[in-house]
Structure 1
Amino acid sequence: MKIDKNQLLRFTTAGSVDDGKSTLIGRLLYDSKSIFEDQLAAVKNSSKQKGIEGVDLAMFTDGLKDEREQGITIDVAYRYFTTPKRKFIIADTPGHIQYTRNMVTGASTANAAVVLIDARHGVIEQTKRHTFIASLLNIPHIIVCVNKMDLVSYSEETFNSIVEQFEEFSSKLLIKDVRYIPISALDGDNVVNRSENMTWFQGSPMLHELETLHISSDINKIDARFPVQTVLRPQRKGFEDYRGYAGRIASGIYRVNEEVAILPSGFTSKIKTINVGETEVEEAFAPMSVAITLEDDVDISRGDMIVKKNNQPKLSQEFDVMLCWLNNAPLKSRTKYTIMHTSNEQKAVIKEVVYKVDVNTFKRNEEDKDLTMNDIARVKLKTSHRLMIDSYRDNRSTGSIILVDESTKETVAAGMIV
């Protein structure tokens, strides 16, 4: 399979406290030679001040002063690196249950999730929680790294036992692709280079897996969705009659002369022109930013959506959402929020909390209707006007929403439309 060297892979790392996430990322950056000399010198100096011989690999990701002083990762740390085969963005998320919202934030745009498991402890509650969230967010690839294999004498039996434990519970979730790698982040076994201590493992090192993951299909290419961000009416000579609709294609492909429908009005027309900047093109696809003109003069404004005439999203004012509560303040009943969906902003209320999910056991609690920070629940939303929605599993762009507090302007929740 040919790999696009300019292709960007976003992946998140997750695991229990002290499973070695920061050390793994440090090893990945260090062995792939993705560390600048001044960064390496600073970390070597900091390591020396802490009385550590050599390089404390975890310090490449624990960039905040508070994190270093406490010895833990307390927020989502984003890191960027490039290899000859691919570009990467890493979201290193904390393992504590009180930071569930941080993982949801860090993983929301991920193409893959790296789940770390301590070889000494096997699958624990945090493993299940992070895998459940990855499944909920429809992350297509999961790489399970069984870390600290050096502390269990590189035992193939221990590795196989953990693989069986993981498959036993993950089979209940909607996960497309799971891969397993035995590693030692501290020593570098199977991170960038193949391990000489685990010759029984016939798979590829972690970096090779990341470089060769197939990610081109993550954008929905079938359902054409174009949320209008603004209407273009240039006031200059030669453009007096120009009326274009600008935005970013959320999914699908648009071609000149194709019949389209404008939602929520339902009016139909044909695409007259498609412009990418100053260049006129015959077709455009997600995630390109374009300006589209139509053959008919149709009343269109920000928040409307141009779709294919024979392939339309659902128009609804009431729908179910899997919601992660992000705010310090709990949900207040009958409170109006601003809902943001693609380029559309409206008023919304949470009509009902259907059930809350215990992210450690996957059990549903239909009795507890209170939502506090880090809670994940299925809720019924009602909006002031109809939204053009798809399920999150079908389309990430048109299947996701956020809720904003009208008074404080804080983002209180993020949700995936069911």
Structure 2
Amino acid sequence: MLVTFIAFESMAVATAMPTVVRELDGLAWYAWPFTAFLVAQVVGMVLGGDVSDRRGARVALLWGVGFFALGLVASGAAADMTLFIAGRAVQGLGGGLIAVSLYVVAGQAYAPELRPQLFGAFSAAWVFPALFGPLIAGAITTHTSWRWVFLGILPLVAVGLVLVLPSIARLAVPDGTARPAVSRRWWAVLAGVGIGALQYAGQRLDLVALAVAVVGVVALAAGLRPLLPRGTVTARRGLPTVVASRGLLAGSFFGIDTLLPLTLTEVHGFSATAAGIPLTTGAIGWSLASTLSARRPDVSRVRLLQIGFVLLAIGLAGTAFAALPSTGGWTAYVSWAVAGLGMGLGMPSVGVLLLDQSPEHRRGADSASLQISDVVGSALCVGFGGVLVAAAATGVLSLTTALLVAIAVFSGLALLGSLVAGRAAAPSAEPVRATTLATS
């Protein structure tokens, strides 16, 4: 239930944002509430991993809920755009702590044979928010105030925490001998700054953007090296490939997911409601595949990951028909359902594989690596899509060409994932530690 409420807030904020920036006179800062959330989330993930390994997942989860609730209050009560962005940053910090701590809880509280069902439930928890979150948020914003999109979640998050407290109270607490990895937090800040710089550069096409992008790439690369398992970039067998797969899944899927409504409205003249239907079919496909995989714990998670990447690649490639003015936009309804099926098989599988291969004393840091890969993959691919759309807006490319380039690139990433997914199986050697260089 806690996951569902947080997922609802994530889905709802995009619906409320146009009203927020209008009332707070912050149109020029439209993208920064999202960027602030992402940057702080990366820091929260590393902090969550460190706290979970040193003081236990219970402490990390409580911290996360506390920061998330504080951010909701700050955002909902903000009198200007600066305070609103600050509130979103606090939310992101809490969201990162929660995401990692839930993975650690899963590893401690559930036997290996039960983890597929748990991660299937995690995926299913996003279905209701994906289907109804924007609709409910729109109604709240229209008939009351956008502030209640944030403040109204507070009692629901409190209920979710109360329900989960009895379970986490029984979790084992680490002996506290692990040293606090303060340096990892600073590397996380550097990586977050890199993400923020790239997000900013993606919103403009000029020499300033180029300079900011170069700084962002350097900062992100330097920050990620100590935060990901050694061999992540080269997909070394075992945990590095698991972490890399998460980034490939999230990046390729969400890179197109954010462009689909634009494609249908601009290329085919769909209404906003009709343009949002593919996102719903994708959520349904995701849920169905997650449920199916959860019911078959006997099937290899590596095999399911491979199949998931193949289905994702097919779904992504299928959206090319929707990008062409000469074909029907309705094809996106089908292709995105197929992409959702791929995500429903792939995402729970990487979660199970991570917990199977990560030693208990490293689950916090390793779970943080997995979540960071997800956020970075999504941010980079969404940013790349934004650059292409900006190029179309300035006449450098036609919108159809920009969309087809994005589809080709992200379909290629999914195919790459299908080729390397076989390396996600655990090696015979000891699990790879997630504190050394990511590019070795």
TM-score by length of 2: 0.23
Structure with the larger RCO, 1 or 2 (CA within 8 Å, 6+ apart): 2
Query: What TM-score comes out, normalization by structure 1 length?
Result: 0.24
- Higher helix residue share: 2
Q: Which has more strand, going by share of residues?
A: 1
